């Protein structure tokens, strides 16, 4: 679905939500309380500023007795089969964000991955996958990165644990290419990348990756992910706590200049290993 058509469909979703809410006699605050979000969020859903999570759409259906209408609309608009169900909504939000902040404890963030690196990750997690399946997933991942090439691209900050540089995903040649790509993006000032070194020891987000998203006309959102599960956080208290975690990671990381030097040094090491094998 083209972006214009998708936005028009979300506007219809919001208009229909407002109509059915008012027909049921609920204010935005009252409906929000019943489905465990704020009244402000209901207003943003109705204006197509923000997209609800699936469980919220399902609760709205139950409360307004809409026969699954909002869940069906959600699945049509967000449930992109190229992405895990828990991640599809994040892809939609990335396109709307004015600022993105990632912390990656093990793997290069998807927005920075090269095709070869992404393919190696896919095969490591699903060694029996068909070539078509792997190519579809890799293409989808690379398409996400197009937002970093747009004239209206978001500010993108990434904190990489040193693990990301040292684990040879796909082999030396793949890693050299991957780290050179990150360095080039940083030098072109398309991204701001810092590295959390091994010497930092224990760190604030040892449980997994963290993403923060800011928007021009909506409150910030956070996303955390573990193996085969992810959580999109709208609750202001949880988002604030996640922002605090990211701040702790930021102050423990190397400077951008020292980080770039470490990334380029690691890339050179991988290149030397490639040339001697």
Which CATH number do you get for residue 196? Answer: 3.30.870
pLDDT tens, position by position, 30-71: 999 999 888 988 998 999 888 888 889 999 999 999 999 999
157 and 249 in one domain?
Answer: yes
Q: Can you read off the two tokens belonging to residue 131?
A: 């070539």
pLDDT tens, position by position, 66-121: 999 999 888 877 655 677 767 877 888 898 899 999 999 999 999 999 999 999 99
Of the residues 28, 49, 78, which one is the last residue of a structural domain? 78
Of the residues 47, 78, 109, which one is the last residue of a structural domain? 78
Res. 5 pLDDT band, cuts 50 70 90: low
Please indicate, yes or no, if residue 91 is contained in any of the structural domains: no
Of the residues 20, 45, 78, which one is the last residue of a structural domain? 78
Q: pLDDT at position 130, please?
A: 93
Domain count, the chain: 2
Please indicate, yes or no, if residue 61 is contained in any of the structural domains: yes
Q: What angle do CA 104, 185, 198 make, to 5 degrees?
A: 35
Residue predicted with more confidence, 10 or 136: 136
Range of the domain at 234: 96-275
114 and 39 in one domain?
Answer: no
Tell me the β-bridge partners of 232. 223
Please indicate, yes or no, if residue 247 is contained in any of the structural domains: yes
Q: pLDDT at position 165, please?
A: 98
Please indicate, yes or no, if residue 232 is contained in any of the structural domains: yes
204 and 68 in one domain?
Answer: no
pLDDT tens, position by position, 232-274: 888 889 999 999 999 999 999 999 999 999 999 999 999 999 8
Q: In the predicted model, is pLDDT for residue 138 greater than 80?
A: yes
Q: Is the dihedral of CA 33, 38, 41, 46 positive or negative?
A: positive
CA neighbor of 246 nearest in space, from 214, 216, 219, 199: 214
Supply the DSSP string of 234-269, one letter for each residue.
--HHHHHHHHHHHHHHHHHSPPHHHHHHHHHHHHHH
């Amino acid at each position: 679905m083209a972006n214009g058509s998708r936005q028009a469909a979300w506007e219809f979703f919001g208009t229909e939500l407002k109509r059915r809410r008012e027909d049921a006699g609920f204010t935005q605050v009252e409906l929000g309380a019943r489905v465990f979000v704020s009244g402000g969020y209901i207003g943003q859903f109705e204006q197509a500023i923000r997209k609800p999570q699936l469980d919220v759409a399902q609760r709205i259906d139950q409360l307004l007795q809409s026969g699954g209408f909002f869940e069906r609309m959600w699945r049509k608009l967000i449930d992109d089969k190229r992405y895990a169900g828990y991640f599809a909504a994040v892809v939609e939000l990335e396109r709307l964000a004015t600022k993105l902040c990632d912390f990656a404890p093990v793997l290069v963030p998807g927005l920075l991955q090269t095709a070869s690196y992404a393919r190696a990750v896919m095969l490591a997690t699903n060694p029996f996958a068909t070539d078509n399946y792997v190519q579809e997933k890799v293409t989808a991942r690379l398409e996400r990165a197009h937002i970093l090439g747009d004239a209206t691209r978001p500010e993108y900050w990434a904190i990489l644990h040193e693990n990301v540089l040292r684990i040879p995903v796909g082999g030396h040649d793949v890693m050299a290419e991957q780290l050179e790509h990150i360095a080039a993006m940083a030098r072109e000032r398309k991204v701001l990348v810092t590295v959390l070194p091994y010497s930092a020891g224990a760190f604030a987000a040892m449980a997994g990756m963290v993403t923060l998203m800011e928007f021009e006309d909506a409150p910030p959102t956070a996303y955390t992910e573990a193996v085969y599960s992810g959580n999109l956080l709208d609750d202001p208290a949880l988002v604030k706590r996640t922002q605090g975690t990211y701040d702790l990671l930021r102050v423990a990381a190397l400077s951008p200049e020292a980080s770039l030097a470490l990334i380029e040094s690691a890339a050179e090491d991988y290149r030397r290993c490639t040339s001697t094998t």
